[in-house]
Structure 1
């Protein structure tokens, strides 16, 4: 009998190195409140595959490998939000717009330009992924303690921008480790 083993995976845009370098300075400024996202994990999630079986992973590999997308420009919008998909699973967690709570992600908005919109829509539609209220962003890090959300509005966000170098498919190995299943370089036109 065949195994019905499933895994969690996600499709993401990698962030250009010049923006990651600029984010390192911002992470240093926030180091007493925010545990920084590791450089190699900074990305923009385009779609999430929850409990994907081998067929869904094969379909994902095929779609990404054959995709013909230009590299979208990655530029921060200046919008900062917070929240946590992981904490939402805990019934005692209640989102508070006014407070960044310990364990929540501090998220930086990314411009939702035509190229990024096209990639995200083709991937989610091609794989039947439902993404309600897609908001492109990258994660600066996790809050190490509760602090007022108003403190995020004063952050000096980088103005550096650049083209996304690739679309990747990452498979969850643990909550903090991922394996790359597909790496697709994007042409910088």
Structure 2
């Protein structure tokens, strides 16, 4: 996926750790602003700005950034398809993504983009079929297809707020369905 902006970058020099609750809050707000600015650049198809912002992500913020992207992706998917996408709609999107991306990038596999959608719609096992390093590229291919680049700042801000609000619930649900879930006995 050559044209995809990567969300990893060399580690920047560390700065001092926050020394008070207000510093921690301002640091959290600065991180949220960076994540939103990066997503805005991606939605606006500004690859240079997206790459510049990605390069400023500190190593300790990468997990938070990935989780923000996953929550944003889930929010976009749920807005478009609900929690149970119609197979015909998915097939149409998959074909559109194939036509748009495959001629330029022979490594792009549109079915992986479809699998990302299905993964957030209760088929999470499909995530194991897509290398983690490829997942953000497929998420952004889908989001860029479903959200117009001329979406208003207010529309994007609303999407970001929803993604930030559902993030903790999504993490709790994922934790409960995986790590904290009771082990099922194999049937004989």
Q: Give the TM-score of the pair, scaled to structure 2.
A: 0.26
Higher strand share: 1
Higher helix share: 2
Q: Give the TM-score of the pair, scaled to structure 1.
A: 0.25
Higher relative contact order (CA 8 A, sep 6+): 1
